[in-house]
Chain A
Amino acid sequence: MSETSPQDFKHLALSLAGAQDSAPWLDSLRFTGTEQWLEAQWPGRRTELWKYTPLASLQRGQFASWGSAQAYTLAEHALLSLDAIRLVFVNGQFDAQASAGDVAGVVRFSKADAAQQALIEARLGKIVDTKRHLFASLSNAWTQDGVLVHVPKNTKLELPIYIVHVSTPEATPATANHRVLVVLEESAQAEIIEHFISDEQAQNGFVNSLTEIQVGANAHLSHYRMNLEEEHIIHIGGVHINLASNAQYLGFTLSEGSQLKRIDYQICHKGKGAHAGLNGVYLPRNEHLLDYHTNVEHEAPHCTTSEVFRGIIADSARAVFNGRIHIHPDAQKTLAELSNKNLLTSDKAEVDTKPELEIYADDVKCAHGATVSQLDQTSMFYLRSRGLCEKQARTMLSFGFINELLQDLPQQAVREHLHRHLTQLFDKDHFAS
């Protein structure tokens, strides 16, 4: 027997729930979450959804306390330069000073009025399928605060909603629970940017994050999610989206590696004619473990999905990509595409990629593919024949590989921020060896 039994994190998590005081109207959600968390099997190697992603570092982490609001200094340009409604959380605690702007419908749970409370109660924890998502149960059990973005019918939010989550150094390994609920009513429009970062000095921390999104009929959501916490932060996150008829969801996600990151996306086409576009980039290096699981449920006819994920895996890092598309019997005339391409820049880098198509309707068009490759030799020669050294050529080519997904991002601030940030990251060599 190892000295840490597999129960450790599970029980620490329960005591963490007990250490919170939260509003009574959230009690039933918390209670159900706690119950499910207790009953659930701890994932092991035979658990399909966690097969390639051991939780050993979470077990070892001794996450026995909640994060606290710490003073911190972020590197220049750490945040987007963007005119937006900004909500900043530090180690899970709201930072009023760093936050800015205000708009009707965007409110923290703790400040919700009666109608908003009713809305939260009706939707929170209902979009996610907790049976498949263990850490969503935990998020329910831990719900204390969070952000509600509610956009009424025929309304367009003029400014983007920019939600920042900062992890900073703490005395002991600390935990943060990050929760977002987005409800776009019929024909509403909004843009939401979630940005996770850490102070370079940050030590072991655990971030459990869950974003639930309801896109109403004809409504349109643009959603960015950047998981850029460094080395010591463990992040388990989920984004769960329900699409009503003719709804549109355009998502982009980018994750840098850390000791453990696991991000789940679940998209359900509930009404006919909905469209989901999801592009993602993952960049683990060092000894990182980075796992993306995506699952698209086509429950209604005439819906379309386009999903493209690209990863560069450096050093001794490991990536997991699992992309499932499930087409239900009623989902005729579905158009779904999934592509996953991986570039390994070291002999010790590894990726497990598995696209899964399950089709139970006959009149559909689906395409999916996954590749693992190295840099193209002809392109290398072309660049070097123009005077670029080998390293520069490698850096340029691997950057180009992911830049195909970055260069067309409609949100300029995100595009420019990532371009600058990743240029610096790529200059550090990991992705060019």
Chain B
Amino acid sequence: MLDIRNLNARVEETEILRNLSLRIKPGEVHAIMGPNGAGKSTLGNVLSGRPGYEATSGEVEFNGKNLLDMGIEERAREGLFLAFQYPVEIPGVSNMEFLKASVDARRKHLGLPELSSFDFMKIARETSKRVSLDAAFLKRGVNEGFSGGEKKRNEILQMMLLEPSLCILDETDSGLDIDALQVVAAGVNSMRSAERSFIVVTHYQRLLDFIIPDYVHVLAGGRIVKSGGKELALELEAKGYAWLEDEVA
């Protein structure tokens, strides 16, 4: 699914990711934890092609293709999805029109027929119900005036509609109340399948009680310093990150 080999990347002029390697097979869920400023969001941004985030060396293979050669929209159409840590507000652009345009683009890429507006609206309404977002949010501007939690649920809604093959969730749990956390987790779990993989970036072990990962990685200082099973998250919760830095050093 995804094979990152010795990736180095910089933001503006600063080297952030250093020799990072990570392999994800279809159907796997990988959690990434790590201190603030470690480079977790940077990894998501580099993978999704955000301008300003430049891979300086290394390789990334996504479903057998060279990911770093693809444009932003091409990656998305190929099935890569990043749920933003800070979703963007775009007033004046209707959420429904935005969602339809993105689903149209993905379907076209897959050689599927375009959905009629009516069919799409029906699907969008049903899906928004599944993430407990009132259908009224579909008519508003993209994330316009949404609360923090509503924005996160809108990200999950997009993910469900786009049916990506690789979903990167960047702190989708932060800012969610307990009910919303369960809603989001249920949404993610309902999408788990043998063909779809997830990278779940989080600071809290709590999320991993709901979305049970196959692997947990610790990202610190721009590289993966430790990997393990889901128990690692509990250990981190108990001990913090300092012991790891000692171990690495």
A251 to chain B, nearest CB (A): 20
Q: What interface size band does chain A fall in?
A: 20 to 34
A132 within 8 A of partner (CB)? no
Within 8 A of B (CB), among A348-395: 377-379, 381-390, 392
Q: For A382, give its contact among B84, B91, B109, B141 (CB under 8 Å).
A: B84
Contact B90–A387 (Cβ < 8 Å): no
Q: A387-B162, A400-B91 are in contact. Are A381 and B141 (CB under 8 A)?
A: no
Bound Cα distance A390, B51 (Å):
13
Q: Chain A binding site: helix, strand, loop or mixed by DSSP?
A: helix
Bound Cα distance A379, B92 (Å):
12
0/1 interface trace, chain B 38-62, chain A, CB 8 Å (1 if under): 0000000000111100000000000
0/1 interface trace, chain B 166-184, chain A, CB 8 Å (1 if under): 0000000000000000000
Contact A397–B90 (Cβ < 8 Å): yes
Contact A382–B106 (Cβ < 8 Å): no
B97 to A, closest residue via Cβ: A396
0/1 interface trace, chain A 12-46, chain B, CB 8 Å (1 if under): 00000000000000000000000000000000000
CB-defined contacts of B97 to chain A, threshold 8 Å: 396
CB-defined contacts of B51 to chain A, threshold 8 Å: 377, 381
CB-defined contacts of A382 to chain B, threshold 8 Å: 84, 87-88, 90, 142
B89 to A, closest residue via Cβ: A379
Bound Cα distance A387, B72 (Å):
7
Q: For A381, give its contact among B72, B101, B109, B142 (CB under 8 Å).
A: B72
B123 to chain A, nearest CB (A): 16
Residues of A within 8 A of B (CB): 377-379, 381-390, 392, 396-397, 399-404, 407
A-B contacts, 20 listed (Cβ < 8 Å): A381-B50, A382-B87, A383-B90, A384-B72, A384-B76, A385-B50, A385-B72, A385-B76, A385-B82, A386-B102, A387-B106, A387-B109, A389-B73, A396-B93, A396-B101, A399-B93, A400-B91, A400-B93, A403-B94, A407-B94
- What 3 A-B pairs have minimum CB-CB distances, sorted nearest first? A400-B92, A387-B105, A400-B93
14 further contact pairs, Cβ within 8 A, besides A385-B72, A396-B93: A379-B90, A382-B84, A382-B87, A382-B142, A385-B48, A385-B50, A386-B76, A386-B101, A386-B162, A387-B76, A387-B105, A396-B97, A397-B93, A403-B94
